[in-house]
Chains A and B, each alone.
Chain A
Amino acid sequence: MKKLLVSLTTFVIIVLLILMQFNFLNTFPLFGISPCIGIVFICMVSIVAGEKAGTIVGFVYGIIQDAFLGRTMFETAILYMILGYVIGRFRHKIAIDNQLSLIAVIVLSTIATESCNFIVNITVYKAPIEVLYLLKVISIEIFYNLFLLYICYLPFVSWGKVMNRTNNSYYSLENNLR
């Protein structure tokens, strides 16, 4: 019952974040570049709640975004799913209280996500190869996403902990290690 409740609440949070992205964040682009709150949320959840939660959250976030305004279904879903899995897989090397490691995670995630988008655009949709634009997107979005991390760190990490407590994996592992 508790798991179901947490899953449903996570779904609602994802929907709210996507709505916030479309209706609020997209209306305040910095030099034409919008941030991506999804990357920040998936990273935080994956770090705190592990690869399973990260993968599922990434997939659900991506699939809703694809269904709402994506060009192809599963494109963003797969991308975010991989992101959630990879970060969750290496979460033991990331200290949640260490600011520098969190900044590094967001920077690397933004670079990886936008580079994948760039490659998909070139290969699948035959978009022109505009490396300058890729560099512009990455450099501006990193700062914007870090700003979002600064604002949303506490709520995202708190929710990640709630998810983790439901799964009971991270805490049990932590106790075993002690």
Chain B
Amino acid sequence: MRVLDSKKTKTIMKIILIMCIFLSIALTGGERRSVSFGESLLSKILYIPQGLVIHVSHLVTSDEVFFENIDELKTENEKLKQKIKELNEELIDYEIVKEENKTLKIERDTANTYETYNVEIANVIAASNNNWEEIFLIDKGSNSGIKPYMPVITKDGLVGYVLSCDNNTSKILAIIDATSSVSARATKTREEVLVKGSNLTKNQDKIVVSDIPVGIIYESGDSFETSGLGGIYPKGIKIGTVVQFVSKPNPLENTATLQTAVDFNKLENVAIIVSFKEDNNEEIVS
């Protein structure tokens, strides 16, 4: 500290500093291809705050423009709002058309599959919560001409029948319900059998064929359709295909398990048969 305090030392230091400044001017004054490390470091340190300053200044400048053009922007905003409104309306229309298209497609597919049926298309809106029942709720009721005991199908096959209906909804009892039974016929061999739902197999969309005539053995892949007997279902609707044949000591007790044609876990739309034509072209109301 004594050394620094002395006048001589101070003068020497000042001279060295001035010389250094001149030296650095002489070194950096000419044309250079690269900057020194110190300059680079300094520029990097300054870069961030400088960037911020520039950004703020740009903002201020643009704000001025904004305030100058505020009326124009307001008009533009209104126009854009109007455009959004129009597009939203178009989107709603599009959704409606899409839904209609879906319904019409199902109707066409169903009509192509079962040409003689006059059907009403409905959406499945709920499924039963009880472990003992397989009931579906659909969004069409008596206002759409639906009545109890009308058969319900999809393009794949038989779903069940209308259990009850109010003005806008109906309950459908599925063929996989344990209390359901359908009079059926083997598509190839034409024997009449009874197809019943079972609690034990309903979760796998399987139903049981009983009352099989003695001596008849079904193989995997054999299909069954409605026989038209019983007064609910018209004949010829596909029910399912055999996945297992169980032979019992008493041949009267032989059973077969069918995989239903309809996937009840993915049931979204159904078709209710309002009326159908019989072989003699006579129209029957379900």
Contacts and interface: CB of A to CB of B under 8 A. Distances in A.
Interface of A: 18, 21-23, 25-26, 29, 32-34, 36, 65, 68-71, 76, 114, 117-118, 121, 125-128, 130, 132-133, 137, 141
A18 B128 CA distance: 11
Interface of B: 126-133, 135, 137, 163, 171, 173, 178-179, 196, 198-200, 202-203
Main secondary structure of the interface of A (DSSP, over half): helix
A118 B203 CA distance: 17
B200 to A, nearest CB: 5
A84 B198 CA distance: 31
Contacts of A22: 126-127, 129
B191 to A, nearest CB: 22
A121 B131 contact: no
A127 B137 contact: no
Contacts of B163: 71
A118 B179 CA distance: 12
Given A68-B137, A70-B133, A117-B131, 6 more contacts: A32-B203, A34-B129, A65-B129, A69-B127, A125-B179, A127-B179
Contact of B131 (A34, A76, A127): A34
A18 to B, nearest CB: 8
A22 B124 CA distance: 13
Contacts of B173: 71
Contact of B178 (A32, A65, A130, A141): A130
Given A69-B171, A127-B199, A132-B200, A121 B132 contact: yes
A26 B199 CA distance: 16
A76 B196 CA distance: 24
Contacts of A121: 132, 178-179
A55 to B, nearest CB: 21
Contacts of A25: 129
Given A22-B126, A34-B129, A132-B200, A127 B135 contact: no
Nearest to A19: B126
A128 B131 contact: no
